[in-house]
Amino acid sequence: MKNMDIKKLVSSCSIFIAVASLYILFSWLLFSGDSQIIQINQSWAPIQFNTALLMLLSSLAVFFNERAPRLTSLVMLFVALFSGLTLIEYLSGINLYIDQLFVASHIEAHTTHLGRMSPPTTLAFILFASAFLLWSNKLRFHLLAGVLIQFSAVLVVVSLIEYGFGVSTTFAWGNRSKMSVATGVLFVLLHFSLFLMVFSSYKRLWRPYVYLSAFACILVGVSSWAAYFTHRSKVLSQEISLYGASFEQLFINEIHNRKNAFDRMFDRLESSESYYNSKTAQGDYQHYLKDYHDLDEIMVAKVKETVWKSSQYFSFKINEPPGIAWQKHTIENLKNDHQVMYYYRLSDQILMRFRIDLNSFVDWLLKDKNYAIKLSGKDKFYHFNGPESKEFKEWKYSHSFELNGSETVTLTALPNQNFHSHDQAFLSFLIMLLVFAFACFVAYVVDLSFSLNNKREKLQGLNTKLDTLVNTLPVGVFQTDARGSCMFVSQKWNEITGMNPRQAFGVGWHKTIHPEDRTMVLEAWSQVALDKQNFNFRYRILRQQDQSVAWVQAYAQPVTEQGVASGGYIGCILDVTSEMNAKAELEAQKLIVMQSERMRALGQMAGGVAHEINNPLATIEAYVTLIRSVIGPQDLKNKEKLVQATHKISKTVHRISSIIQGLRIISRDGSNDELEEIRIKDLLDHTLSISTERIKKHGVELIIDESINQDIVLHCRETQISQVLVNLLNNALDAVSDHEKPWIKIWAKVSGERIEINVSDSGKGIEPALQDKIMNPFFTTKDVGQGTGLGLSISSSIMKANNAELTYDNNETYTTFKLVFPAA
């Protein structure tokens, strides 16, 4: 059933109850207790004003519970207190004056106390209110609330059933006020509403079979108990009726005896005014009674025990005739209002009661002493023709057996209704319920085992799916507890980190974090775990299989149990190494582009300069040639020196030209050039033309190894290789400038298919730890601002673009970088 449907059902139930209760309340107040509305049938028990009031409050509490939980709880607390006080009245016998607090009651069918709710009604209200309070207020005692509702509902149902069968042995508590049919019906609806609310708000407890069978079991238990007592009552009543002439005779004799006693008492009363309320009178009364019992022929009874409780109340017990063991005979003087109430009780059950109004007795005795004597003359019925009093009038409405059938009765006896004639049907009904309950229980057990099996299978299926999912995900899944200890890692996690689950458990996984990132990651992790935040971090790991470095992106989320973070985490790591590499590559490319932009600008300038300078150089050269050719044939003094001078001028012109050529080559963006055949000699000439001066200026010796055949041809882009060489020379210069005897050496070597150009310097090699990193972008050993860390990285990629390779040679004693070309 959907939640909305349940809510609608509950709302309509509570509205119905509220309307019905209001109707009854108004009939009490406005229609002066219209018995048609309150009782429906004149012979049925009325629904008391208090009952209707509490019913209205309860239904409103159910209806408004969601909107005003605190207020409704207070209202239900009031309901529980009020019914609790009523119950206390029953149990202790004291009057708290709450029965007719709101309205004076006058209907007394099935009523022992005017306006007072019947005991089962109070009990049902207490249980209902307790269940309601347990359920609301976020106490979450759903199960306990459910049990209380069931118990209360059973009380109501059994009361209704008993009422229907005319049995009130147990649930009206003897002859006390009975729960009316209307109350029972409204209660059933009320309980149903609360039951639905409790279990719809807590779906996990929604097991109709369980509650139906539990309900039936409680019902059967209580009913059996009731049936037992009903049966017993029947037996006893038969015994009683068999005993002596009749119970009525017993009663009549009793009246006789009272009359005699009172006769004698009032004889003495005449002589003394203060006698009436004195202990003497009471003592006399007991004495006379004792006499009577001693003389009694039918019930050979003795006063066994006399209890003096207060000046207003006294009672005594008499020994029962053999066979009727628990019969008690009690006399109560209620509130000193001159009424004497007689009860014949079997156990706690009132078999018969009657009362005598002392006032009227007194009045009557004073008026006409002889009238009392008349009483004894009558056979069975006694006519008390004393003055009609208000107190007796109320008895007219009670369902009573009147001795004289007259409305001016002052002596009333109420025959008991406990001996029902339908006990056979009642017992059959109980047996049917028992069978039904058992059937429900069996159905529940079968259903439970089926659903458990189903659930287990579903769970297994789900587990398999989850496993498959976790293992096919491209990410490594892991789980940690609140302290960050690893509890689970997936297959993929093993693959990414190279660590097996057993090693990863606990804090083992820390080992996978790259040592340089470890502190940072663990600190970030503990910070995040403290705030129960999501973890999203990128760090390096050390693959356990080969100690290689990889980048991972780790995501983790706190595990929640019923909306509360338990402290543990579930997360995953994603291998982002290629992404990071691509990023670095991109960054490097960007810098290369920037570098070449700069170079291009320089190249353009160098081109302009070259043009501007080469023209005058050509002019100089041409004039020098002219001079030489002019002085050639002439016989001049110092002619040799002049010719030499012209040659020197020519040489200088070529040097200037060569420098400019080198500058042009080095500053060009050669990346789009075709691969060309370049002689090593030309390459070195062009490169060195611009570097030599700088190297020499720093006092560094430049050694060019001439031993190699410099006509060897390389297949490359001259511009780019020159750039690489210049870069290597610059690095070398920076490295050696503070050496004592600094030198840089360039030497070539041909070995098989390879041509090597080596650049060595007076440095003693690079630290082994750094050797792997020097080719990485942005790696630099120079001071901040001195180097970009791009030189070797860019050089390396330039070499690759020329089908060649730049390597560091760690076999050499001195720092040596190699340009390795394939033989052209």
Partner 1 sequence: MDEKLQNLKILIVDDEPDLLDAISINLELMGAVVTTANNGLQGLEQLKKGEFDIILSDIRMPECDGVEFLKSAKEEFKQIPPFFFLTGFSDYSTETIQRLGANELVSKPFQVGELVELILKHTSKSA
Site residues (vs partner 1, CB under 8 A): 607-608, 610-623, 625-626, 629-630, 632-633, 650, 653-654, 657, 664
Q: Is 304 left (phi over 0), alpha (psi -120 to 50) or beta?
A: alpha
| Coil vs helix vs strand at 709 | coil
Q: Which is nearer to partner 1, 293 or 664 (CB)?
A: 664
Closest CA to 535 of 520, 549, 550: 520
- Give, in degrees to the nearest 5, the angle at Cα 302 between 296 and 304: 160
Listed in sequence order, the residues at least 6 apart from 498 whose beta carbon sits closer than 8 Å to its beta carbon are 512, 543, 544, 545, 546
Report the nearest approach of partner 1 to the CB of residue 638 (Å).
Answer: 21
Q: Which is nearer to partner 1, 546 or 674 (CB)?
A: 674
What spatial distance separates the first Cα and last Cα of the chain, rounded to whole Å? 86
Q: Which is nearer to partner 1, 405 or 633 (CB)?
A: 633
CA distance 805 to 820: 5
* 8 A C-beta contact, residue 303 and residue 286: yes
Taking each continuous run of H as one helix and of E as one strand, the counts in the chain are: 23, 19
CA distance 612 to 594: 27
* 8 A C-beta contact, residue 285 and residue 265: yes
* 8 A C-beta contact, residue 385 and residue 402: no
Q: Which is nearer to partner 1, 673 or 701 (CB)?
A: 673
Q: Which is nearer to partner 1, 456 or 651 (CB)?
A: 651
Report the nearest approach of partner 1 to the CB of residue 649 (Å).
Answer: 11
Report the nearest approach of partner 1 to the CB of residue 736 (Å).
Answer: 34
CA distance 403 to 409: 8
Q: Which is nearer to partner 1, 56 or 624 (CB)?
A: 624
Q: Which is nearer to partner 1, 98 or 713 (CB)?
A: 713
490-496 long-range contacts (CB < 8 A, ≥24 apart) are 493/573, 496/541, 496/543, 496/550, 496/552, 496/573, 496/575
CA distance 590 to 227: 98
CA distance 575 to 31: 85
Question: Looking at residue 737, what DSSP letter applies?
Answer: T
Report the nearest approach of partner 1 to the CB of residue 776 (Å).
Answer: 37
Report the nearest approach of partner 1 to the CB of residue 722 (Å).
Answer: 17
Question: Looking at residue 46, what DSSP letter applies?
Answer: P
Q: Which is nearer to partner 1, 450 or 623 (CB)?
A: 623
CA distance 279 to 262: 15
- Two structure tokens written together for 416: 């008991």
Report the nearest approach of partner 1 to the CB of residue 655 (Å).
Answer: 11
Q: Which is nearer to partner 1, 404 or 650 (CB)?
A: 650
Report the nearest approach of partner 1 to the CB of residue 694 (Å).
Answer: 23
CA distance 318 to 325: 11
Q: Which is nearer to partner 1, 212 or 675 (CB)?
A: 675
Report the nearest approach of partner 1 to the CB of residue 622 (Å).
Answer: 3
Q: Which is nearer to partner 1, 449 or 625 (CB)?
A: 625
CA distance 254 to 243: 16
DSSP secondary structure string for all residues of 439-450: HHHHHHHHHHHH
Question: Looking at residue 782, what DSSP letter applies?
Answer: S
Q: Which is nearer to partner 1, 487 or 617 (CB)?
A: 617
Report the nearest approach of partner 1 to the CB of residue 610 (Å).
Answer: 4
Q: Which is nearer to partner 1, 593 or 622 (CB)?
A: 622
CA distance 777 to 26: 94
Listed in sequence order, the residues at least 6 apart from 225 whose beta carbon sits closer than 8 Å to its beta carbon are 170
- Two structure tokens written together for 439: 């059937």
Report the nearest approach of partner 1 to the CB of residue 617 (Å).
Answer: 4
Report the nearest approach of partner 1 to the CB of residue 772 (Å).
Answer: 41
CA distance 759 to 820: 11
Q: Which is nearer to partner 1, 375 or 642 (CB)?
A: 642
743-751 and 701-704 as β-strands: parallel, antiparallel, unpaired? parallel
Report the nearest approach of partner 1 to the CB of residue 680 (Å).
Answer: 21
Report the nearest approach of partner 1 to the CB of residue 605 (Å).
Answer: 11
CA distance 644 to 659: 23
Report the nearest approach of partner 1 to the CB of residue 601 (Å).
Answer: 15
Closest CA to 11 of 192, 220, 139: 192
Report the nearest approach of partner 1 to the CB of residue 800 (Å).
Answer: 25
Percent composition of the chain: helix, strand, coil (DSSP 3-state, to 5): 55, 15, 30
- Two structure tokens written together for 623: 């004039």
Q: Which is nearer to partner 1, 610 or 708 (CB)?
A: 610
* 8 A C-beta contact, residue 693 and residue 702: no
| Coil vs helix vs strand at 471 | helix
Report the nearest approach of partner 1 to the CB of residue 675 (Å).
Answer: 14
**If DSSP states are collapsed to H, E and C, what string results for 747-772?**
EEEEECCEEEEEEEECCCCCCHHHHC
Q: Which is nearer to partner 1, 549 or 617 (CB)?
A: 617
Element (H, E) at 264: helix 247-271
**If DSSP states are collapsed to H, E and C, what string results for 623-640?**
HHHHHHHHHCCCCCCCHH
Report the nearest approach of partner 1 to the CB of residue 626 (Å).
Answer: 5
Report the nearest approach of partner 1 to the CB of residue 604 (Å).
Answer: 10
How far, CA to CA in Å, does 104 sit from each of 48, 108, 594?
A: 10, 12, 104
Q: Which is nearer to partner 1, 653 or 733 (CB)?
A: 653
Q: Which is nearer to partner 1, 573 or 690 (CB)?
A: 690
